[in-house]
Amino acid sequence: MIQRFRYKFIAISTAALLFVILTIVGSICTLTYYQSHQEIERVLTILVNNDGQIPRKGIRTTDNSQPQFSREGLHQYRYFAVLVDNKNQVTEVQDDHIATVTPQDARAMTDRLVRRKVHSGQLLYRGVNYAYKIRNKNGEKVIVFLDESLLMARTRSLMHTGLILGVIVLVLYTIVLTLYSRRAIRPIIEAEQRQKEFITNASHELKTPLTVISANNEMQEIINGENEWTTSTKQQVTRLTKLINNLVSLARMQEQPTLTMLPVNVSQIAGDVASSFKSVISTEQKQFNVQIDEGLVANADENTLRELLNILLDNANKYCDPQGEIDFTVSSSNHSKNIVITIANSYKDGKSLDAKKFFNRFYRVDESHTQGKKAGFGIGLSMAQYIVKQFKGKITAKYTNGKLAFIVTLKEVGK
């Protein structure tokens, strides 16, 4: 249990850091990508406003918050300009600032843009992305193409570096967390250990006075005969003994290492457990409906699975209404590769119950913690929940059609 908690602690902490890293790296990449496109837009605007030429005078922009460009700075960009007359014929190609585009390429790209009739955007030509901007001037057009490769390469490099650093940080954090996680959860381990020791020691200390009380009660019955007081004492001793045994069983169950999971015949085990309860339920004039599909196999521990079914059937019999019904169904799910075990009992007072609390230890329906027959669900269901978790299954409770039902789902093998 502690080991599973440790792994969960590591997984949650690592997931939290992963979320933070993705948020930071994603924000940086998004901002860098946005700034690159803004830079491309500003450079195109400057060039197209100057007929595709780098201006000889100072470069001014209307937005003072943006970085300013110098004439020398503009020479770092690879671009070319095309002049088009009012008949959409190319009259001039200015390709002094680019070496990879020929005049024929420039004309081909211009023809594609003229058909588009869009004044700005991107154009993919021979595997290279070009940003372009068109300016109308006296019926003619000035089109400036800017090679995005350099700018976007820097952006991709930054993104790639950010991702690599993020992965490195995540791996280092996970390694350090794994090495020191036991120290981090040491107080929880110690508290859990003290709790188990307390339960074990207390059970041994309580068994002695209970044995003495039981013996004294039997002596009173021999001397004075059985009466309502001795009967009540006997019932309470039995109840306390069962509670102590359950507490010890739960503590020992949690101390055990992970169960050895092997394919077991759930149908056969369920049939054996149902047979053992049939006479007990019939004696109390309750109807026992059993429906078990044959050949259902799941990975589990056979003895622990029997204990699980015994707990649930005992709980159903205990809290079933007088002359009510108990349903025990084991079937294969139609929608998934699961075995569904359903144990339900008639319980007319179940509408007001909170099914989510059934698996809490010592849960009781009423606030006064009375000792009546239906005062609470003890720790049996808590043990059942722990067993199902060991089987990597799921257990739920619900109240429907006047019946309280517990549903166990296990992974079916061989389906």
pLDDT of 368 above 60: no
Burial (Cβ within 10 Å: 0-12, 13-18, ≥19) of residue 213: middle
Domains of the chain: 56-151 (3.40.1840.10), 187-254 (1.10.287.130), 260-411 (3.30.565.10)
What pLDDT does 58 receive? 52
Let me know: does 78 contact 58? Beta carbons within 8 Å: no
Mean pLDDT, rounded, for 256-278: 86
* Angle separating helix axes 149-184 and 186-224, nearest 10 degrees: 40
Q: Can you list the positions of beta strands (E) in 228-320?
A: 262-265, 287-292, 297-300
Let me know: does 326 contact 345? Beta carbons within 8 Å: yes
Residue with tokens 């101390």: 255
Let me know: does 283 contact 316? Beta carbons within 8 Å: no
pLDDT of 375 above 50: no
HSE value, Cβ hemisphere, 13 Å, CA-based, for 228: 0
pLDDT of 38 above 70: yes
What pLDDT does 151 receive? 77
Q: What is the pTM of this model?
A: 0.51
- Start-to-end CA distance of the chain, whole Å, equals 30
What pLDDT does 68 receive? 57
- Enumerate residues 6+ apart whose C-beta is below 8 A from 339: 266, 296, 298, 330, 331, 332, 333, 409, 410, 411, 412
The length of the chain is 415
> Which is more confident, 239 or 147?
147
Let me know: does 44 contact 131? Beta carbons within 8 Å: yes
State whether residue 61 is helix, strand or coil.
Answer: coil
The pLDDT tens digits of the residues spanning 162-191 come to: 889 989 998 998 888 888 877 777 777 777
CA distance 368 to 152: 71
The pLDDT tens digits of the residues spanning 268-312 come to: 999 999 998 888 888 888 999 999 999 999 999 898 899 899 889
CA distance 265 to 157: 58
What pLDDT does 369 receive? 39
What pLDDT does 71 receive? 66
The pLDDT tens digits of the residues spanning 44-67 come to: 888 888 888 887 765 555 555 455
- Tokens describing residue 103: 């005049």
What pLDDT does 326 receive? 94
